[in-house]
Amino acid sequence: MPEEAFFLSFGLGVLEITDPASGRVLSRQDLFNLFRQYSYFPPRNGPDEPDLEPDDGFLVHYAVYHHFRSLGWVPRAGIKFGVDWLLYARGPVFDHAEFGLIVIPSYSDAWWKKEGKQGPRKPWSWLHSVVRVLSHVTKSLVLIYVDVPPPHKFEEALKDGITEAMKLYKVREVMVKRWSSNRNR
């Protein structure tokens, strides 16, 4: 997982990643750019490619990963259950995940509203199906809203370093539970 590799390198400073072609250790900035480029399909690594955006998949998911790791949780890929992340108290070796997380970029800044940018739209039936899958495996769904900064603020903060740019991302959590009228009287 690129988010975990970047967290171990950037967040904790305990991992070095080597370029297999040149044999040199990639800097944190090189890793940051590499993971951002490859969060798009096809990857945006050519001179004619559009610029990277502050709402690219790597940045938004890394903000969530870093948030929960900093709180002591262990996030792991949740594709098996139709979610972005599974959240473990101590890790998959020790216990089962308690929560399934779905990451949703939020464009709450006035700049995004002026540009008309909206987050991804999903029908209620999609949400119902995810809740149903998770309830069958005794996990609760948490919607994670990540406030995405506008491009000009992000680029300005990035000049002062990755840490300053990542501080612009705010993470909000909303718990979704299935309600049954027979069980909840």
Contact 138, 178 (CB under 8 A): no
Q: Is 170 a catalytic residue?
A: no
Q: Which of 65, 107, 139, 169 is catalytic?
A: 139
The structure tokens listed for 58 are: 């790597």
Taken in order 159, 65, 116, 36, the sign of the CA dihedral is positive
Identify residue 66 by its one-letter amino acid code.
H
Whether 136 sits among the annotated catalytic residues: the reply is no
CA distance 22 to 19: 6
Q: Is 105 exposed, middle or buried (0-12, 13-18, 19+ CB in 10 A)?
A: buried
- Residue 138 has, within 13 A of its CA and on its CB side, a CA count of 4
* CB half-sphere exposure, 123, CA atoms < 13 A: 3
How many angstroms separate the CA atoms of 38 and 11, rounded? 20
Active-site annotation holds for 96:
yes
Q: How many CB atoms lie within 10 A of CB 6?
A: 23
Catalytic residue among 88, 107, 145, 169: 88
Cα atoms found within 13 Å of the Cα of residue 149, Cβ hemisphere only: 17
Would you name the residues annotated as active-site residues?
Answer: 88, 96, 139
